[in-house]
Structure 1
């Protein structure tokens, strides 16, 4: 973990809450003037602490009404299979996130699709692309809490 001081942690927390804030507002919130604040943001980007700035969108308003968590069990654990799987998931834009897991499943995917027909097509493309031992799909009924912001400690230590 990067050793971030209190000001850096506050800057990161503000940007995770709203990356559209003007530098002047961020600087005011963290107790800096604009130029030092901008230099810290540039440093945080150069260090890879800040990896990008994006707009968050409502998936339903974009036509993605179904969110599916897909568990994948690999048939083998060879480097060749992992490489093929990595290539396969990279080519499926419905996949929002992919995690290699410890425990009973090998991979967990977060998939966004408009409807069941689209999920069925996605499922066929995924299972045609690479051999899979088992696929288990869990359909989200309701998103109760969602955040992209990590709980960065902004207290003075």
Structure 2
């Protein structure tokens, strides 16, 4: 972890839990006054530690009730293929996350989609855009835990 002091870790934790908190509340929880707290937040943003502030939404209530984890085996490992694959996944907004993996699969995708028919359409768009060696899809039945907050240590050790 980047060298963050206890106050920075407290600020980051508060913002990960609720980015809508007023500066006064964040400052109070971090043990600072408002101006130094705001300056620390700006430094955390400029250092790239805080990368954005967003609202989290319920995917099912937005019509994205099906989550699919898609394992991809690359057809080849050339720079050209990787670039084409990158363009293809960037062009499909239902692909929420893409990870390049070590092990049996080369890429793991998290897809948020409305239903099986929509997933079939996404599959066809992806396979039309780039040649894939193998595609394995795993359909989530229940989201048992979800968080966007990293477990930052806020204890003074």
Per-residue CA shift, 1:7-35, capped at 9, x if unaligned?
Answer: 00000000000000000000001100000
**Residue number in structure 1 paired with 2:2:** 2
3-state SS of the aligned residue for 2:126? helix
Gaps of 5+ in 2: none
Structure 2: how far apart are the matches of 1:113 and 1:2? 35
1:113 aligned onto 2:113? yes
Q: Supply the RMSD in Å over aligned alpha carbons.
A: 0.5
Structure 2: how far apart are the matches of 1:86 and 1:73? 14
1:51 aligned onto 2:51? yes
**Residue number in structure 2 paired with 1:29:** 29
Structure 2: how far apart are the matches of 1:88 and 1:28? 46
Structure 2: how far apart are the matches of 1:144 and 1:112? 16
**Residue number in structure 1 paired with 2:122:** 122
3-state SS of the aligned residue for 1:133? strand
3-state SS of the aligned residue for 2:135? strand
Structure 1: how far apart are the matches of 2:141 and 2:117? 17
**Residue number in structure 2 paired with 1:101:** 101
TM-score, normalisation: structure 1? 0.99
Structure 2: how far apart are the matches of 1:25 and 1:142? 35
Structure 2: how far apart are the matches of 1:2 and 1:150? 13
- What is the number of residues matched between the two proteins? 157
Q: Which runs of 4+ in 1 moved over 3 A?
A: none
TM-score, normalisation: structure 2? 0.99
